[in-house]
Chain A
């Protein structure tokens, strides 16, 4: 169990700046997901906590202790990687025993056997124990990798995209399983992913990383409903939030390039300061609805049928807008429709900085 703090961490590799002034606070027993695109600095952050990389600046604390001079072995963390964390020459059992056998641990052989068996039972890999790891399927391999981590009872679990190499069905199953394991162990998990669905479904807290900076930290609910800036808004959610340029004029949202207006009365707290100022209106596709008497006309550009719902791409002028509508909605491509939005759900961003007015205030 551990509380992890990163203070003002910076790291560069040659000319490439991986992290700048990164601050992170992961509470004890929390399932923290670090979400970001490839190259955002997620893995670097993880490796620094593991002790495989040293920060150029800043400090890392595990349970309040500065771990700058601690090697990877002393930090007592477990690392699960996307691949290559199993040794192909070893059987599953030998792989699971491996973390228990370093000299610094001195664990009795009986104890090792008990622990390996218990972990195998938890992960339902008992029947694989004597198999060589290169003869496992992707899902089985990742199960064993997770087993290698939990067999040791480390203070922190670090997971670097452990599910990314798996196919969709398996990923879903392991997601649930991993979350269950974390709840049963009550341990601190730091999970790195570029998949926002993983982040939203697993994380107690999510940290969104962009270009080596933490853009926003919060619960999945906060991240989804109250994104700090347009980057988070467009990165989290599938399909992403609609972002439309415009301004507020007398309580109505006037979309600048498109010349359409939507009512905004009673929407997000508006003040005189916002009136007339260039803004970006953010609206989730599920908060856009079709209605015969609605104020704006659009044409259906594309229809994606997802079973429970349909995702429509609406075209207004030459701008595109996504709307999630019930599956029973009967529309055809190029059909004219009228739409409106739920003003309460609109997030306003400053056009210049991209930062949400709610966060700026």
Chain B
């Protein structure tokens, strides 16, 4: 590049920055919409034109986590005074929190669905990335008969839209008793992600010089020790990038979760829209559920952002 930047180049740079800002805003607009709706009072959620300036409220989140019913009569001042701050927010919305006979607050279905999502996504990510790493290492380091064919076979499992097999899968799962279980979804998502994980990890493994392990082998380490001590730390970037992709896929999966689960093992994606249908849709509660649902992926991606960037540009940079 020229050492001197001309004024034309500089103004072009500015233009590019403006362009990037506009695109970023377009991409962020829906997320802003979700986030802002999650903090709106119910009556402002569906105004036309949309309300942009409002007093943020926490009540949608309180409603999200509790079981509620419509109030027929306004609460008595004593009831109101005795209620904790969060219950008053529910009263203000014309509803009351459902309590058991012994006065315990009844939780909504959301927390357990959220936990299910975490259990399924984390376990299947660990399994897919773990198996993918070992498989990729094998393909990368050893001479395997029909290596290309095997790799193609692994890739070919991704060539069909997964929903195509939804009905046979459902029948099989019902037959073996896997439907509506955590393991059912974990196995399913691991299978989806495995081929992707193998291919991505193979690329990263190929980039690690095999001299590293050979030096360790000659120094008196076993192949296993060399793998864990040398290869795995070197592959950390690849593992992180692969994990983010696998996690997002498993976390966001909707169709199979909808078909294969209904209560015990249901994840958040099919649960959130199901709330639209019960009573009058409260968009603030749905937005609050969606907003919380976005957080784990955002945090996970943010934590691994450096690895992820390298993972995205993977293949573009060659030594």
Q: Are A84 and B221 in contact (CB under 8 A)?
A: no
Q: Are A79 and B214 in contact (CB under 8 A)?
A: yes
Q: Are A81 and B215 in contact (CB under 8 A)?
A: yes
For the complex, is A352 an interface residue (Cβ under 8 Å from B)? no
In the complex, which residue of chain B has the Cβ closest to the Cβ of A152?
B219
Residues of A within 8 A of B225 (CB): 102-103
Q: Are A52 and B219 in contact (CB under 8 A)?
A: no
For the complex, is A279 an interface residue (Cβ under 8 Å from B)? no
For the complex, is A240 an interface residue (Cβ under 8 Å from B)? no
Q: Are B222 and A84 in contact (CB under 8 A)?
A: no
User: From residue A5, how far is it (CB to closest CB) to chain B in Å?
Assistant: 20
User: From residue A116, how far is it (CB to closest CB) to chain B in Å?
Assistant: 14
The complex places the Cα of A81 from the Cα of B220 at a distance, in Å, of: 16
Determine which residue in A52, A73, A78, A87 has the highest number of CB atoms from chain B within 10 A of its CB, and name it.
A73
For the complex, is B211 an interface residue (Cβ under 8 Å from A)? yes
The complex places the Cα of A79 from the Cα of B217 at a distance, in Å, of: 10
User: From residue B242, how far is it (CB to closest CB) to chain A in Å?
Assistant: 19
Selected from A73, A81, A103, A148, the residue in CB contact (under 8 A) with B211 is: A81
User: From residue B249, how far is it (CB to closest CB) to chain A in Å?
Assistant: 30
Number of A-B contacts (CB under 8 A): 54
For the complex, is A89 an interface residue (Cβ under 8 Å from B)? yes
For the complex, is B234 an interface residue (Cβ under 8 Å from A)? yes
The complex places the Cα of A311 from the Cα of B72 at a distance, in Å, of: 110
The complex places the Cα of A239 from the Cα of B108 at a distance, in Å, of: 88
The complex places the Cα of A81 from the Cα of B234 at a distance, in Å, of: 19
Query: Given A73-B222, A98-B219, are A89 and B211 neighbors across the interface (CB < 8 Å)?
Result: no
For the complex, is A72 an interface residue (Cβ under 8 Å from B)? yes
For the complex, is A105 an interface residue (Cβ under 8 Å from B)? yes
Selected from B209, B218, B230, B234, the residue in CB contact (under 8 A) with A73 is: B218
For the complex, is A182 an interface residue (Cβ under 8 Å from B)? no
Q: Are B217 and A99 in contact (CB under 8 A)?
A: no
In the complex, which residue of chain A has the Cβ closest to the Cβ of B219?
A99
The proximity string for B residues 200-240 relative to A, scoring 1 for CB distances below 8 Å and 0 otherwise, is 00000000010110111111111001000010011000000
Selected from B209, B211, B212, B218, the residue in CB contact (under 8 A) with A72 is: B218
Q: Are B216 and A98 in contact (CB under 8 A)?
A: yes
Q: Are A87 and B218 in contact (CB under 8 A)?
A: no
Q: Are B218 and A51 in contact (CB under 8 A)?
A: yes
For the complex, is A186 an interface residue (Cβ under 8 Å from B)? no
The complex places the Cα of A88 from the Cα of B233 at a distance, in Å, of: 10
Determine which residue in A72, A76, A81, A89 has the highest number of CB atoms from chain B within 10 A of its CB, and name it.
A72
Determine which residue in B209, B212, B218, B221 has the highest number of CB atoms from chain A within 10 A of its CB, and name it.
B218
Selected from A51, A75, A84, the residue in CB contact (under 8 A) with B209 is: A84
User: From residue A67, how far is it (CB to closest CB) to chain B in Å?
Assistant: 13
For the complex, is A274 an interface residue (Cβ under 8 Å from B)? no
Residues of A within 8 A of B221 (CB): 73, 102
Residues of A within 8 A of B220 (CB): 73, 76, 99, 102, 104-105
Residues of A within 8 A of B214 (CB): 50, 52, 72, 79
For the complex, is A91 an interface residue (Cβ under 8 Å from B)? no
Residues of A within 8 A of B215 (CB): 79, 81, 84-85, 148
For the complex, is A254 an interface residue (Cβ under 8 Å from B)? no
The complex places the Cα of A102 from the Cα of B222 at a distance, in Å, of: 9
The complex places the Cα of A76 from the Cα of B220 at a distance, in Å, of: 7
The complex places the Cα of A81 from the Cα of B217 at a distance, in Å, of: 14
For the complex, is A336 an interface residue (Cβ under 8 Å from B)? no
Interface residues of A (CB under 8 A from B): 50-52, 71-73, 75-79, 81, 83-85, 87-89, 98-99, 102-105, 148, 152
Please give 8 more A-B residue pairs, beta carbons under 8 A apart, in addition to A73-B222, A98-B216, A99-B219. Answer: A72-B218, A73-B221, A79-B215, A83-B211, A84-B209, A84-B215, A99-B220, A102-B225
Interface residues of B (CB under 8 A from A): 209, 211-212, 214-222, 225, 230, 233-234
The 9 tightest CB contacts between A and B, nearest first, are A102-B220, A84-B211, A99-B219, A72-B217, A84-B209, A73-B220, A79-B218, A85-B215, A102-B221
- Can you show 28 pairs from A to B with CB atoms below 8 A apart? A50-B218, A51-B217, A51-B218, A52-B214, A71-B217, A72-B214, A72-B217, A72-B218, A73-B217, A73-B218, A73-B221, A78-B218, A79-B215, A79-B218, A83-B211, A84-B209, A84-B211, A84-B212, A84-B215, A85-B212, A89-B233, A98-B216, A102-B220, A102-B221, A104-B220, A105-B220, A148-B215, A148-B219
